[in-house]
Structure 1
Amino acid sequence: MSNIFLSLEPKILWNHFYRLTQIPRPSGREEAVRSYVADFARRFGLERLVDEAGNVIVRKPATVGMEARQGVILQAHLDMVPQKNAGTAHDFTKDPIAAVIDGEWVHARGTTLGADNGIGVAAALAVLESGDLRHGPLEALFTVNEEAGMSGALGLKPGLLRGNILLNLDSEDEGELFIGCAGGREATMRFSYSETPVPSGYSGVEIRVSGLRGGHSGMDINLGRGNANKIMNRFLQMGRERHGLLLESIDGGSLRNAIPRESAALVVVPFAQKAAFLDELQALASAIGIELAETDPELRVEAADAALPASVIDDAVAQRLFEAVAASPNGVYRMSEAMAGLVETSNNLARVHSDGYTVSVECLLRSASEEGMQELVDSVARVAERAGTEIVFEQGYPGWKPNPESPILKCMTEVYRNRFGKTPEIRAVHAGLECGIIGAAYPQLDMISFGPTIRHPHSPDEKVEWASVQKFWEFLASTLEEVPAP
């Protein structure tokens, strides 16, 4: 595949991003991209190390005359979210991303693009490569597995980093400086079941929900988009209560940090009830389509004949499952009182899937406050208790408390104003940035997160505005030149 980015500026950044699109790098499979970064550092004679968690740290000395400036850490994550449209043939462990320039935007054909956080990685590599930029002592921290649990940041040991300013290159709105983020915690309910034979007189039906927009479960959670698991559950509850539906298997959603776009279920219904069930399913699908007409106009609900399975999930377990999914909070739980328009607490009912022995219901809880997180934990735990099933909460990761008096915030605000003639917006984000985790291990760090304009991350609609990438680069370069001495 030829480099389609040759016409875009800055060429040094886009060249690295192109190379990243050619390297498969889903979360947990960062071996090849880690080697790319290490080989790059070796080629340019830069100090490099790989820590116990698999993160890569690269160091570059200050340019002449800038040795007394504060040390800056450029931080980005190597992995990307592997999401594709139904019908798109793509293996994220082997295939390169097929990027397209479409007007003002760069996107991929039917898959996530990996601009989150490939643009940040490319920017850090471009700074390390450039011989034209003026800067103090630099480190680049490339973390792993950010999208699937932040294990790279969580595994970062104190004492490895030398700088006292961290620039996280993983935000998605050019012209905005982020100074805080939400913490997150994973929860999993498990319904163990035994299979029972299918009674006589039943017919197999496969139900599919697709076409939803999905998106980032932090950045997009306030947009009211449909959740495929919640929608599917409405069909299953209706079918069970009114038409004797029994569940054979279910597979909805894919990743905890992506709003679920698709769900599929294999069910059986009494043959005498099949026509009435299908009619009511379509009527309910039409009603849901009207509910989501603004947010998810491409919603599709399909029901087709399927081979009759030999067995189904015990009906008493299925009933408890349906009731738990219906009762689970999903979407915005509370808005922030401190910052207008900011979500404080939310839950993403991300995944519902069976494996022949257990149905798992996986959620990602987010909150900017410890109190809000605990309240949501208690709410989800009560759902599991009423359903009579076990629930496991993972340890989670901390949020990042805003510091409006941050010295690097003041510096970057002035740099942006002088460079572009306007004041950047100061914001916090309802998503899990690695700043909170890294800041817990390195409490002396003064941190800012910023980036170009990226839309619909974590979905196949992901795209980056190429002009904003050039502006982001100019801002980064100007900031490095203006970082003051201690």
Structure 2
Amino acid sequence: MSELSQLSPQPLWNIFAKICSIPHPSYHEEALAQHVLSWAKEKGLHTERDQVGNILIRKPATPGMENRKPVALQAHLDMVAQKNNDTVHDFTRDPIQPWIDGEWVKARGTTLGADNGIGMASALAVLCDDSVQHGPLEVLLTMTEEAGMEGAFGLKPHWLEADILINTDSEEEGEIYMGCAGGVDAITTLPLTREALPAGFQTCKLTIKGLKGGHSGAEIHLGLGNANKLLARFLKEQAALALRLVDFNGGTLRNAIPREAFAIVAVAADKFDTLKAQLARYQAVLENELAAKEKNLTLSLEAVETQLQPLTAKSGNTLVNLLNATPNGVIRNSDVMKGVVETSLNLGIVTTHESKAEIICLIRSLIDSGKDALAGALQSLGELAGAQVEVKGSYPGWQPDDKSPVMKLVRETYSTLFGKTPNIQVIHAGLECGLFKKPYPNMDMVSIGPTITGPHSPDEQVNIESVGQYWTLLTALLKAIPAK
């Protein structure tokens, strides 16, 4: 039995432990989906799936509450797969290993999947806990949210019967989210040209690792290091060494701030020691610049052999210049929502192949024009570099509604329970609510959740006390939903 079984509330923590035991990274969540369906059917609950794999479970109202407005609790089935470099873990086969560290639940060397596993566990716990009072209830679990919100994109009208949707994907107890950023992917493809290794050159591998990484929306304002940008910057500064770039790879997910990046370069043998000294100098520079944020940053250089030929000087310089010039981080803060990022970009993944490099960026913005303008800037950069830029996978933001009845109800319920006023927020991250508004334009929506830090990174952790507070709020809210 998991050590989480000692935590309260139950059965939420037991259900979360079970979720952790079933691998469910994006595109590999079917085993978890089948478990949930079997679990719900064993409890005599009505279950359905739609054409994209989303799960809908219905539970009748508590006796005497049949006239309440129907509510849908919503979570996503998949999790982000990130691990430390020294952790051996296959996310498609191996279970997550949660453990208790004081006031927090963490995972051993990997993402925990509290995003959105805790939300999913809370929805399922409501279904199986008959002490929770509620009106007509639906639980909607969507597919592949972290890799493009595919389940939300595929949601059809008239399937849900709820008037109110409570999204469980927020990550700060005491905050109520009533809006979120939209996003779009920008994929730059740059042709590469290679030639034979010049005489007198040797190949070596540059590595930057130990960065925190994290959520490319909710944590983009924290000033964390982006491994792709930092490594490109170093390469740009070494023009005097006439390095020949052979390979560049960094980041693994477009929606996670890159924690590691690697480059293979060819350097004149008599300049290897100079390169090593320059790397040590650069580490000192970064330690000074990022002292408050990145305490485990390391850079290393080692001689390696490779079958790849180096890029031509022109081709390598073009790639380095493109990476160095690509904007990253907070682009603009909102004038309307003070303290909220309006538009941002995460240079998430760089991969090089024999004849091309691919750069994947995720653009987020609270306003469509900000998203479009930044995509246009990347397209202009691509044209200057001789690259093709494809913009795809656009999803809308969730426009705040300050007249939302459910938002007012959550605020009043929270204040009554905890004696303080919650913060009403717009989050600079993608929540599925924006997509739900298209098939269900009249549905009243709100997003709540416990405190989760370090999502999308192996530092992900969920605060135990906040889960209890979130559960108290959720169950009280369901009881307080008004009549139709």
Counterparts of 1:283-322 in structure 2, within 5 Å, are 283-307=281-305, 309=307, 311-322=309-320
Deviation readout 1:92-126 (Å, 9 max, x if unpaired): 00111111101100001111001000000000000
Give 1:308 deviation, angstroms: 5.3
Q: Give SS of 1:458's match.
A: coil
Q: Give the AA of the match of 2:337.
A: M
Look up the match of 2:327: 329
Deviation readout 1:229-276 (Å, 9 max, x if unpaired): 01110222233x211111111110010000000001111111122222
Look up the match of 2:217: 218
Counterparts of 1:97-176 in structure 2, within 5 Å, are 97-176=96-175
Give 1:313 deviation, angstroms: 2.2
Whole-Å Cα distance in 2 between the matches of residues 190 and 246 of structure 1? 20
Whole-Å Cα distance in 1 between the matches of residues 475 and 417 of structure 2? 11
Q: Give the AA of the match of 2:109.
A: G
Q: Give SS of 1:248's match.
A: strand
Whole-Å Cα distance in 1 between the matches of residues 399 and 24 of structure 2? 30
Kept after mapping to 1: 8 A contact 2:71/2:136: yes
Deviation readout 1:330-355 (Å, 9 max, x if unpaired): 00000011111100000001111112
Look up the match of 2:457: 459
TM-score normalised over the length of structure 2: 0.98
Q: Give SS of 2:4's match.
A: coil
Whole-Å Cα distance in 2 between the matches of residues 16 and 101 of structure 1? 16
Whole-Å Cα distance in 2 between the matches of residues 383 and 176 of structure 1? 38
Give 1:433 deviation, angstroms: 0.3
Kept after mapping to 2: 8 A contact 1:268/1:308: no
Return closer, same or farther for 1:321/1:418 CA change in 2, 3 Å cut-off: same
TM-score normalised over the length of structure 1: 0.98
How much is the aligned-residue C-alpha RMSD, in angstroms? 1.0
Whole-Å Cα distance in 2 between the matches of residues 166 and 11 of structure 1? 23
Kept after mapping to 2: 8 A contact 1:198/1:309: no
Kept after mapping to 2: 8 A contact 1:198/1:310: no
Give 1:319 deviation, angstroms: 1.3
Whole-Å Cα distance in 2 between the matches of residues 395 and 226 of structure 1? 26
Look up the match of 1:200: 199
Q: Give the AA of the match of 1:33.
A: L
Look up the match of 2:425: 427
Deviation readout 1:365-416 (Å, 9 max, x if unpaired): 0000012112211221111111111000004100000011100111111111
Q: Give the AA of the match of 2:277.
A: D
Counterparts of 1:19-34 in structure 2, within 5 Å, are 19-34=18-33
Q: Give SS of 1:312's match.
A: coil
Look up the match of 1:81: 80
Structure 2 runs not aligned, ≥5 long: none
Q: Give the AA of the match of 1:60.
A: K
Whole-Å Cα distance in 2 between the matches of residues 295 and 92 of structure 1? 28
Q: Give SS of 1:311's match.
A: coil
Structure 1 residue 392 and structure 2 residue 383: aligned? Answer: no
Whole-Å Cα distance in 1 between the matches of residues 366 and 411 of structure 2? 24
Look up the match of 2:54: 55
Q: Give the AA of the match of 2:112.
A: L
Look up the match of 1:254: 252
Return closer, same or farther for 1:314/1:157 CA change in 2, 3 Å cut-off: farther
Deviation readout 1:134-189 (Å, 9 max, x if unpaired): 11111100001111111110011111111010000000011110000000000011
Counterparts of 1:344-423 in structure 2, within 5 Å, are 344-423=342-421
Q: Give the AA of the match of 2:144.
A: N
Look up the match of 2:474: 476
Q: Give the AA of the match of 1:63.
A: T
Look up the match of 1:441: 439
Look up the match of 1:70: 69
